[in-house]
């Protein structure tokens, strides 16, 4: 797909109260001070999924979901999260019911992201970009999504939740075409979104950010694994864990039958660019940090998810080497799963204030 030339749309900004930030770990060229983050099992205070899923409302919005909903061992409505069709149907219902996104779908074999965790990233980014404690909504904020995938989840949620503009990029033409198809069914998204195909996979920003462009923030969910074999092992382990949990909640007779018949399959989607790359997450983050230096004056905040906590230390060291002025680590948790956002800027506080003041 060719690069969009649709001019950006400007909109008035809105404000909302900002909750206490859980940003931690500031780094500057003079000193390095890392404070231990405070962990919580709660989603972000603005996350609409704090109370779990309202299946009655979701089925009302998308009746097709009903065929996947069954009572769990505790008598509550749920789905089989080991079934990719059920998970995709749940996602489509969530995006339609809560975020008014029509026609969301992904091709078979592509990554199906958990909506509550993905929107959490955006809520914390909104806190990072807040001005004097006020979250900024509207098209004054411009984001760049690196590796948007076929699901396009970050720009879709960012546009619908905050009204921001987005450029979404990927090295996979199928992914770009699929996000374009979704955008065509949603007028606001089509107006606020540009899609750009990265023709050189070794480049992260080069070829995407024009010489006269500026972005308030970049977002990324890096490939996690180092190889296809490692990704396959991870998917198989995930399926086995879900199957084990399901069997533990069944009666003894059913458990024996399930154990005799169980043959886990790799039914969690994901293409090469979505799941693995040479060197895995650590190498991808290193490449991103090094290449971000070339766009120091064109991006207010660079950010990325970091799944493995052990990858933070080499990132801190590299950010110091490239003279990042400020680095923040924002902890996020969803249930028992912990992850974090790494954010860095090459602009001094005074220049960041000037950036905000000069926004159109």
Q: How far apart are CA 274 and CA 162, in angstroms?
A: 25
Q: How far apart are CA 227 and CA 232, in angstroms?
A: 9
Cβ atoms 226, 279 nearer than 8 A: yes
pLDDT confidence tier of residue 245, bands split at 50, 70 and 90: low
| Cα distances (angstroms) measured from residue 40 to each of 70, 115, 121, 336, 341 | 30, 19, 15, 9, 15
The string of DSSP letters for 183-218 reads HHT-HHHHHHEEEEE-S-TT-SSTTTS-TT--EEEE
The DSSP symbol for 215 reads E
211-231 average pLDDT score: 78
Q: How far apart are CA 145 and CA 152, in angstroms?
A: 9
pLDDT in tens, 109-136: 898 999 999 999 999 999 999 999 999 9
| 306 pLDDT above the threshold of 60 | yes
Tokens 């603005």, located at residue: 46
| 260 pLDDT above the threshold of 50 | no
Cβ atoms 148, 156 nearer than 8 A: no
Q: Which of 38, 12, 359, 87 is nearest to 215 (CA)?
A: 359
Is 118 in a helix, a strand, or coil?
helix
The secondary element (H helix, E strand) that includes residue 247 is: helix 228-248
By mean pLDDT, which of 7-11, 45-49, 155-159 is the weakest? 7-11
pLDDT confidence tier of residue 41, bands split at 50, 70 and 90: low
pLDDT in tens, 74-95: 899 999 999 999 999 999 999 9
**How many CB atoms within 10 Å of residue 40?**
12
155 compared with 231, residue with greater pLDDT: 155
Q: How far apart are CA 232 and CA 148, in angstroms?
A: 21
**How many CB atoms within 10 Å of residue 355?**
17
264-290 average pLDDT score: 67
Q: How far apart are CA 233 and CA 231, in angstroms?
A: 5
**How many alpha carbons lie under 13 Å from residue 183 in its C-beta half-sphere?**
25
Q: Strand 299-306 and strand 165-170: pairing? A: unpaired
Tokens of 278: 């040479």
Cβ atoms 159, 194 nearer than 8 A: no
32 compared with 269, residue with greater pLDDT: 269
Q: How far apart are CA 59 and CA 186, in angstroms?
A: 21
pLDDT, residue 224, reads 61
24 compared with 190, residue with greater pLDDT: 190
């Amino acid at each position: 797909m060719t690069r969009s030339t649709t001019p950006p749309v400007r909109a008035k900004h809105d404000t909302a109260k900002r909750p206490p930030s859980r940003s931690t770990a500031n780094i500057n060229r003079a000193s390095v001070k890392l404070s231990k983050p405070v962990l919580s099992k709660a989603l972000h205070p603005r996350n609409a999924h704090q109370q779990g899923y309202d299946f009655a409302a979701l089925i009302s919005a998308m009746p097709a979901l009903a065929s996947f909903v069954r009572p769990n061992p505790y008598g509550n409505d749920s789905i089989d999260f080991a079934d990719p069709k059920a998970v995709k149907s749940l996602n489509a219902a969530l995006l339609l019911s809560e975020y008014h996104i029509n026609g969301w779908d992904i091709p078979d074999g592509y990554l199906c992201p958990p909506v509550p965790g993905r929107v959490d990233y955006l809520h914390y980014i909104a806190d990072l970009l807040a001005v004097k404690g006020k979250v900024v909504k509207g098209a004054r904020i411009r984001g760049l999504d690196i590796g948007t995938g076929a699901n396009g989840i970050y720009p879709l949620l960012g546009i619908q939740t905050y009204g921001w503009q987005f450029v979404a990029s990927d090295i996979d033409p199928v992914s770009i075409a699929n996000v374009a198809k979704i955008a065509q069914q949603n007028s606001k998204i089509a107006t606020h979104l540009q899609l750009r195909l990265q023709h050189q996979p070794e480049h992260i920003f080069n070829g995407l950010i024009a010489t006269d462009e500026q972005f308030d923030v970049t977002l990324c969910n890096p490939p996690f694994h180092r190889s296809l074999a490692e990704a396959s092992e991870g998917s198989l382990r995930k399926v086995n864990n879900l199957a084990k949990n399901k069997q533990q909640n069944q009666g003894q007779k059913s458990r024996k039958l399930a154990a005799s018949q169980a043959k886990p399959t790799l039914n969690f989607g994901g293409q090469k660019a979505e799941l693995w790359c040479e060197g895995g997450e650590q190498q991808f983050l290193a490449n991103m940090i090094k290449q971000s230096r070339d766009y120091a004056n064109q991006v207010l905040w660079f950010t990325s998810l970091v799944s493995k906590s052990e990858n933070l230390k080499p990132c801190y060291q590299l950010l110091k080497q490239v003279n990042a002025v400020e680095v923040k680590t924002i902890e996020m948790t969803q249930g028992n799963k912990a992850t974090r956002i790494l954010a860095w800027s090459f602009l001094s506080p005074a220049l960041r204030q000037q950036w905000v003041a000069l926004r159109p």
